[in-house]
């Protein structure tokens, strides 16, 4: 797979330089505020990565704030940045229970109405970016922690075929973009990853246009995913003809008993192991971290405690995890 057309030559000691040689995408989730305001953020992003995912601005609520209004300003800024720096864009995300605007949830809709809303949303957003994105996280977190279908407004009102309808509508709007099912806590083997496997297998068997599965990979040094399990999961998805991407990796170090240096070394090992699994898999095409530097990670506010889960520190200096990824990409 060719990832860069290359008008600019990546710095020959950067992540993107080595990732390009290995034929995989290396990405980061990008937040609009630092992208606009912080030149170090922009410099590191463009130097090190050949792919980006908008962290929030393409989600349903920000991009479709009123029934008849869409807001493409911020996501367009991101896509434009990517173009200028020869980076690919992963769209994120069309359907996610955590990003529902009030106009959508405050009303009672019939099945027909909700189908029209979903179809219009998908068609408008996917068409707007037609030909400009490599992938869409079409469906985000549709399986609950207990491995059953998550009880969302779409499931309740449309029924379980909302999932395949959504994939079909997205494919109609941009037949070339790769459509992903994306989820967390399902990187290795277990009840939830089995449920996702069963779901995507069924979709594939019925020729629903789904092309890949995203493994979010929000993990921690205390209970990291077992590399063999992740490899086995990626392999069984490959056997279904599906691509896999690591879509949102971060590694929490918590407050543990070991000193910081030891915890950062453990963190580096988790990043390294997952990069190795991806490189060794035939169908793993991208490795995306969920944020650029520890200054901007979503983790501290989400878990309500400080953490340092990313590969650059708060001053954008490379951490041991960064060095581990560079080494791993160079290891043949």
- Which residue, 298 or 316, has its beta carbon nearer to ligand XIL? 298
Residues 77, 13, 293, 97, Cα dihedral to 10°: 60
Within 42-61, which residues bind ligand XIL (CB under 6 A)? 55-56
Q: Give the C-alpha separation, 242 to 256, whole Å.
A: 37
Residue 294 binds ligand XIL, judged by CB under 6 A: no
Helix, strand counts (H, E) of the chain:
14, 9
Residue 259 DSSP code: -
Instruction: Report which residue's Cβ sits closest to ligand XIL.
Output: 298
Residue 298 binds ligand XIL, judged by CB under 6 A: yes
- Smallest separation (angstroms) from ligand XIL to the CB of 150: 13
62 within 8 A of 38, measured Cβ to Cβ: no
210-225 in b/e form (b: 16+ CB < 10 A) is: bbbbbbbbbbbbeebb
Residue 97 binds ligand XIL, judged by CB under 6 A: no
Q: Catalytic amino acids?
A: 141, 248
Residue 174 binds ligand XIL, judged by CB under 6 A: no
Residue 220 binds ligand XIL, judged by CB under 6 A: no
- Smallest separation (angstroms) from ligand XIL to the CB of 144: 14
321 within 8 A of 267, measured Cβ to Cβ: yes
Burial (CB < 10 A; 0-12, 13-18, 19+), residue 124, is: middle
- Which residue, 8 or 98, has its beta carbon nearer to ligand XIL? 98
Within 60-89, which residues bind ligand XIL (CB under 6 A)? none
Residue 245 binds ligand XIL, judged by CB under 6 A: no
Residue 293 binds ligand XIL, judged by CB under 6 A: no
Residues near ligand XIL (CB under 6 A), total: 6
Residue 250 binds ligand XIL, judged by CB under 6 A: no
The DSSP result for 44-70, as a single string, is: HHHHH-SEEEESSTTSHHHH--BTTB-
Residues in the site for ligand XIL, rule: CB under 6 A?
55-56, 140, 216, 248, 298
């Amino acid at each position: 797979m060719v990832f860069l057309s290359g008008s600019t030559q990546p710095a020959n000691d950067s992540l993107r330089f080595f990732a390009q040689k290995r034929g995989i995408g290396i990405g980061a989730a990008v937040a609009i505020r630092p992208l606009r305001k912080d030149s170090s953020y922009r410099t590191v992003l463009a130097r090190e990565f050949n792919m980006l995912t908008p962290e929030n601005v393409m989600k349903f609520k920000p991009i479709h704030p009123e029934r008849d209004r869409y807001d493409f300003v911020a996501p367009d800024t991101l896509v434009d940045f990517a173009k200028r720096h020869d980076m690919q864009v992963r769209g994120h995300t069309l359907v996610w229970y955590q990003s529902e605007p009030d106009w959508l949830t405050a009303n009672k809709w019939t099945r027909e109405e909700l189908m029209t809303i979903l179809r219009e949303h998908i068609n408008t957003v996917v068409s707007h970016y037609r030909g400009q994105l490599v992938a869409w996280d079409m469906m985000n977190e549709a399986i609950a922690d207990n491995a059953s279908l998550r009880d969302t407004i779409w499931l309740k009102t449309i029924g379980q075929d909302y999932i395949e309808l959504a994939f079909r509508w997205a494919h109609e709007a941009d037949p070339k973009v790769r459509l992903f099912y994306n989820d967390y806590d399902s990187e290795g083997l277990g009840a939830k990853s089995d449920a996702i496997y069963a779901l995507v297998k069924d979709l594939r068997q019925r020729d629903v246009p789904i092309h890949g599965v995203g493994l979010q990979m929000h993990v921690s040094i205390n209970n990291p995913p077992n590399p063999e399990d992740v490899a086995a999961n990626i392999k069984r998805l490959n056997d279904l003809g599906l691509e896999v991407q690591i879509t949102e990796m971060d590694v929490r170090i918590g407050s543990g008993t070991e000193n910081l240096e030891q915890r950062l070394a453990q963190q580096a090992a988790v990043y390294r192991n997952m990069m190795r699994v991806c490189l060794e898999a035939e169908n793993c095409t991208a490795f995306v971290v969920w944020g650029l530097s520890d200054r901007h990670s979503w983790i501290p506010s989400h878990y309500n405690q400080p953490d340092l889960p990313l590969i650059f520190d708060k001053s954008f200096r490379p951490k041991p995890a960064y060095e581990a990824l560079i080494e791993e990409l160079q290891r043949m």
